[in-house]
Amino acid sequence: MATDETDARGFRLVADLGGTNLRMALAEPATGKAELRAVEVLATADSKDLADSLASYWCRQGAPPLSSVVIGVAGPVEGEGRSAQAQLTNAGLRISAEAVAHVFGVPRVLLVNDFAAIAAAAPLLSGFDLQPHGREAPPYEEATVVLGPGTGLGVAAWLPGGRVVAGEGGHARLAPPDQAAVPIWNRLAERYGYVSAELVLSGPGLWRLYQVVADLREVAATAADPAEVWQEAKAGHLLAREAVWHFTASLGAFAGDLALIFGARGLLLAGGILPRWAEDFDSLLFRTAFEAREPSYQARLAAVPSATVIHPYPALLGLAGSFV
């Protein structure tokens, strides 16, 4: 139940709208901490109108007073304040801050990139929220890159002082991580033209890798979707294991590129895929590809700790605790 103080200033309604899921919660922002209440998850495909979906959720919680609505969107945000709009990169939804403000009657509606929201959560994540790829987790007080394969590929960075930088890094060109991957990249280029990071480092990307490897090996592809590719890999099927191997090595190489670009001292992996892989994620292969550089930069990247974010709602946490 809300306190009188909360009622006076209102809750913050936060939402994380991705290509697959819409996550919503009420939050009471506080210094250095953000509490999420009444988290609900819906399929994005069932949310034809975001403002209506948010309003329905709000009513189910008893329509408490709101101070603001902050929405993380899996796509670029155009404009600022109530004039801001966003188009989901991997779903046919367009969101208007003005439409949301009209429904709720609140003075403050913010649209932000979903990975900017996850990056903003970096100072709020405890040791229990991270699965380190080694003995230590990244220090949030240093520049930290956040990278996440899911329906698409999100990229952002948290910088000292609390500044967050987000862009469309998932659509940067992706190079093959080693010579063994060159024939795969050539076949991807034949089929898709431009080989972006997201084309490979996403759920659909894992499926593309699997299909191309099957084609090059001239064997039948038996997995029907990315989830089955992962299950077959865990069961020891060679074709699926090879696809997951190339996925992991490519992710490590791209993450190392980003760490050098941002001068990062820490790296966090998030998104919808890797937390599900949990301890089965080949962190040794990832780190080997991450650190594989010319000799003068190997030591620099070896000193950059990395971890997988296992908090279930990092974007909601960042939306609740930042963007005031």
The residues spanned by each domain of the chain are 4-114, 138-304
Q: Range with the lowest mean pLDDT among 4-8, 159-163, 263-267, 297-301?
A: 4-8
- Distances in Å between the Cα of 49 and the Cα atoms of 80, 94, 103, 151 are 21, 9, 12, 20
Question: Considering the domain 4-114 in this protein, what is its CATH number?
Answer: 3.30.420.40
Model confidence over 107-155: pLDDT tens digits? 889 999 999 999 999 988 888 899 999 878 887 788 999 999 998 999 9
Q: Are 316 and 40 in contact (CB under 8 A)?
A: no
Laid out side by side, the sheet with 66-73 consists of 33-43, 21-30, 11-17, 66-73, 109-113
State the angle between helix axes of 295-302 and 283-291 in degrees (0 to 180), rounded to the nearest 10.
140
**pLDDT band at residue 28 under the 50/70/90 scheme:** confident
Model confidence over 149-183: pLDDT tens digits? 998 999 999 998 889 998 889 999 999 999 999 99
Fold (CATH) for 138-304: Hexokinase; domain 1 (3.40.367)
pLDDT of residue 294 exceeding 80, the answer is yes
**pLDDT band at residue 31 under the 50/70/90 scheme:** very low
138-304 has the same fold as 4-114: no
Q: Determine what percent of the chain is predicted with pLDDT higher than 70.
A: 95
**pLDDT band at residue 30 under the 50/70/90 scheme:** low
Q: What is the CB neighbour count within 10 angstroms for residue 25?
A: 25
